[in-house]
Structure 1
């Protein structure tokens, strides 16, 4: 995290920034721990999401304070509204937790209501991933960002909640929201002039891992929308990028976290632009 923080510091300097992070491995491990401890009922997934937000937000905030000593930093536990009738609840697709070999999968004795899907050379648990509709703490995030506070929020896409009944009661649901889609939703709502999606690859590739693989340095949203990408990896990032560009006309940069400053400047990664 210390190395990543140094790169992020250059991105944050002189800019109003909201920082969104993932939680897939962590929330999956928390769910596994909860399922294995039989003395009490396992915590519901929304609570595990809140746990992971607090944990990761704390780690990021500590790391960023070490490289931005004069910057005010706040980590905010965030809830994201979804539709209770979203079709995603019947079709789990979001990978969480570790990748299991066949032997490891048998050894963990997963609960019968867990779903799994192939992931590379192994298998990974998948959960519903409904579309994010709005961010419950948006006004608080807006005030923090406008005040110059580096705001860590919407971790893991936010805690998925629904509003039900005439009284508007809010309750959590068993799901994980895609962090990239939530980041795009937040960026649109904040009126951001640049969305930067940082990951562990150098950008968007044509013919990924194929004989004609090559990095796309710049691409229009119309051309990008016509391309196809793997659902659990680059696919959500491309979907989020296209959504943001269509809604705002502003650019999106996708690239390696370790080259964050160069990605923002357009010297590395992939830049997605409007018409």
Structure 2
């Protein structure tokens, strides 16, 4: 049986920064994703976890256009983005000859209600704004805002994923050789209560969820695809150097929570240390070359 490969797709794979969040633009970007996944599915059973920051932020904004109806909570908005993006990815993959069956599974992920992230929101969602708009946005919507490059963006709580509740369904689909799209946007965040599970106001980091899922599936490989072709030492300086082959210990300095690479580095470190298997970080377009050891950053014990 083919090995299991879990892929975490960065937001840039679905929408380039600065693009209008239209269905047309997302389909255009997803077409590139589909080509890569089709290639990988020949040799692996593929699981796709995708981001949803721009999409869930747009849904939240659309909520606000109807003041007579109370805004929907973030866990429900995450579910909506899972269905929307899962459908779009499935459509594009289905256009490729020879693809295995593709299934999207709405996925709940358990978090702890006392996670410190609820007190210090830091997960970006929605579009970018100019810094001059911050006071207006805070007053109008009560949002917390944070610097994102030269812009500002809304931030929400992002608790750590503890358990993927629907993992058995994912295993069943993989056993049937389906490509599985799941845990989109990090999964619907839920906490355990007396009567079962209850959704909470949060968006989980999709890279950490992909790592947690890969461990629970017993996946052989985890690949985090982003807009950088590798992890770089001295990023942004003339001395910048791509890291090609590293251990978790060597990568740990890049796992700082305030850095763009932080959650990605943390995710692959956790996977490698818990399974002993290999993980990669690199660019979407390089995915086949990354698995062949020619591109990206390879992380191993």
Q: TM-score, normalised by structure 1?
A: 0.94
Which residue of 1 is the match for residue 213 of structure 2? 186
Match of 2:66 in 1: 37
Deviates more, 1:104-113 or 1:180-189: 104-113
Conserved? CA contact 1:95–1:232, under 8 Å: no
2:81 counterpart residue number: 52
Corresponding position of 1:214: 241
Q: What's the offset of the Cα at 1:163? A: 1.1
Report the secondary structure of 1:20's partner residue.
strand
Task: Write out aligned runs for 1:47-196 (5 A).
Answer: 47-105=76-134, 111-165=140-194, 167=195, 169-196=196-223
Residues 197-243 of structure 1 show CA distances to partners (whole Å, capped at 9, x for unaligned) of 11111010111112211211111111111345463521100000000
Structure 1 residue matching 2:202: 3-state secondary structure? coil
The answer to whether the 8 Å contact 2:254/2:261 transfers is no
**Aligned-pair Cα RMSD in Å:** 1.7
Give the equivalent residue in structure 1 for 2:298: 271
Over 3 Å counting, the alpha-carbon distance change for 1:228 and 1:203 in structure 2 is same
* Partners of 2:45 and 2:174 within 8 A in 1: yes
Tell me: CA distance 1:70–1:225, structure 2 relative to 1, closer, same or farther (3 Å).
closer
1:26 corresponds, among 55, 60, 66, to: 55
Distance 1:105 1:249, change over 3 A: same
SS at match of 2:95: helix
> Within the alignment, does 1:15 sit opposite 2:44 as a pair?
yes
Change in 2 beyond 3 A, CA 1:262/1:108: same
Gaps of at least 5 residues in structure 2 are 1-29
Stretch deviating more after TM superposition (176-185 or 265-274): 265-274
CA contact (8 A) 2:255 2:261 kept: no
Secondary structure of the residue aligned to 1:156 is helix
Shift in Å at residue 98 of structure 1? Answer: 1.3
Aligned pair in 2 of structure 1 residues 75, 211: CA closer, same or farther (>3 Å)?
Answer: same
Deviations 1:49-71 (A, max 9, x none): 11111111111111111225441
How far, CA to CA, are the matches of 1:109 and 1:91 in structure 2? 16
Q: What is the match of residue 5 of structure 1?
A: 34
CA drift of 1:103 comes to 4.2
User: 2-side partners of 1:263 and 1:249: how far apart?
Assistant: 18
Q: How many residues matched? A: 272
Structure 1 equivalent of residue 273 of structure 2:
246
Deviations 1:172-192 (A, max 9, x none): 000000000000000001111
Structure 2 Cα separation of the partners of residues 267 and 172 of structure 1? 42
Paired with 1:68 and 1:79, the residues of 2 have a C-alpha distance of 31
Q: Distance in 1 between matches of 2:77 and 2:139?
A: 17
Q: Provide runs of 4+ in structure 1 moved above 6 Å.
A: none
Gaps of 5+ in 1: none
Note the C-alpha offset of 1:105.
4.4
